[in-house]
Amino acid sequence: MDFVISEELRMIQSTLRKLVDQDIRPRLAGLDPDAIELPEKDKQQLREKVKKLGMQAMGAPLEYGGGGVGTLGLCLAAEELAKHRLGSYRPTLGAFCGHFAGEAPGNLLFCNAEQRERYLLPVIRLEKESCFALTEPDAGTDTANIRTSAVREGDHWILNGEKRFITGGDAADFAMVFAVTDKKLKAKGGITCFLVDKETPGFKMARLIPVIRPWYPAELVFTDCVVPAENVLGEVGQGFEMIQAWLGQNRMLYSANVVGTADESLKLAVDYANVRQTFGQPLSSRQAIQWMIADSAVELYAARLLVYSCAWKMENKVGGDLRMEVSMVKLFATEMVGRVVDRAIQVHGGMGVTKELPLERWYREPRIKRIGEGTSEIHRQVISRGIIRGFYPYNPFEKVS
């Protein structure tokens, strides 16, 4: 078993660590504690820097101008890029550095040659933004139950329906919209993905939905929205398959991001415990504080190992079907971060809940991660089903030859 991170990946890690320390953190001083983006000038400078470093669109394929970095490298990147106030949700990678650590959304790799020029490449070059529109008022976890319909009329499709909680739906130049094209087949070949430009008549960004994080998702409404047939992404009926194809990597990046948040929270707690004195002694000399630090360190280590080992398997295509392992990673990591941030706040006392530190923000934002990319309940269901029905070994390393 080899747990050594390659020189190449260490370079990515240390370059991004430096970027966060030297180029992102100093720009955050003086910014509103709930800001979701840097001022345009700073963003532009950062993008230039990232380009110079050759780290733009790291996860996109080399032939399209990306970095071609695999899952483990992207996870290390997502972890490093989480370590600042605005870093606790993955899309800040986009906001800061361009679609940076593999942010050219995986589904867009289904673009045909013509669509690639209009959608995928402009996203990789930061000229366009996209959003992923699947969830609806009556279909979240139960994605197969979506009702947005698409009916073929000549060389067009007519879309009708409503999408809810769409991240980036307000800023996107186009949306990847999932709609039912065959009511009988639904998830078994009856759902199709459409590329819908924001200026298409009948496409409306109805409102932003205030949520626990300062970056609000949008509600999108489609009313007799006419979409050209050439805007079908992939094949008609391939929508559900497309979602499944990219879930794994997305969930890994999500999990790596919370490892970064937890790492930084623990660091803040340790630093504070070493300097803060009560009753003439540093907090770090008290067993109550030491135990909180120990518990967080163990949980963080476990989450990190889960992320790294599963990312390595995914990248090297070993271990067969990794769906259940990805569920374990996502479940454990996204629940772990809440406990670690909570303890870090406790170690800081009153300071922990002020906006002078990022902890109160990190107490709120990662909460969404137990809901997005599959809820904790659904991941528990996937894991327990596999174990109870006997098609998943208790020791996943038995699957690795």
Ligand X SMILES: Cc1cc2nc3c(=O)[nH]c(=O)nc-3n(C[C@H](O)[C@H](O)[C@H](O)COP(=O)(O)OP(=O)(O)OC[C@H]3O[C@@H](n4cnc5c(N)ncnc54)[C@H](O)[C@@H]3O)c2cc1C
List the catalytic residues. Answer: 373
Helix (H, G, I), strand (E, B) or coil at 16: helix
Which of 140, 202, 228, 396 contacts ligand X by CB under 6 A? 140
Of positions 377, 384, 391, 393, contacts ligand X by CB under 6 A: 377
Selected from 45, 149, 285, 375, the binder of ligand X by CB under 6 A is 375
Give me the torsion for CA of 268, 269, 274, 276, rounded to 10°: 100
Name which of 235 and 377 has its Cβ closer to ligand X.
Answer: 377
Cα atoms in the 13 Å half-sphere on the side-chain side of 181: 23
Decide the pairing of beta strands 149-153 and 218-228. unpaired
Which one, 270 or 378, has the nearer CB to ligand X? 378
Decide if residue 165 touches ligand X (CB under 6 A).
yes
Q: Which stretch binds ligand X (CB under 6 A): 46-54, 113-121, 281-289, 366-374?
A: 366-374
Return the number of the residue (141 or 278) whose C-beta is nearest ligand X: 141
163 and 135 in contact (C-beta within 8 Å)?
A: yes
Q: Rounded to whole angstroms, how far apart are CA atoms 18 and 14?
A: 6
Q: CA 293, CA 82: separation in Å to the nearest integer?
A: 20
Instruction: Give the residue with the Cβ less far from ligand X, 80 or 136.
Output: 136
Say how many residues touch ligand X, by CB under 6 A: 20
Interacting span for ligand X (CB under 6 A) from 318-326, 328-336, 374-382, 393-401: 374-382
- Helix axis angle, 7-18 relative to 71-81, nearest 10°? 20
Phi, psi of 108, rounded to the nearest 5 degrees: -70, -15
| Structure tokens belonging to residue 49 | 């820097």
Query: Binding of ligand X at residue 383 (CB under 6 A)?
Result: no
Q: How far is the CB of 216 from ligand X (least distance, A)?
A: 8
* 270 alpha-carbon distance from chain centroid: 27
Applying CB under 6 A, among 88, 135, 192, 309 the residue interacting with ligand X is: 135
**Which of 16, 126, 166, 191 is in the footprint of ligand X by CB under 6 A?**
166
| Residue 95 touches ligand X, criterion: CB under 6 A | no
Coil, strand or helix at 340: helix
280 alpha carbon, distance to own chain's centre: 44
- 67 near ligand X, judged by CB under 6 A: no
The smaller minimum CB distance to ligand X, of residues 273 and 368, is found at 368
**Distance (Å, whole) CA 352 – CA 372:** 26
The contact set with ligand X (CB under 6 A) reads 131-135, 140-142, 165-167, 211, 217, 368, 371-372, 375, 377-378, 381
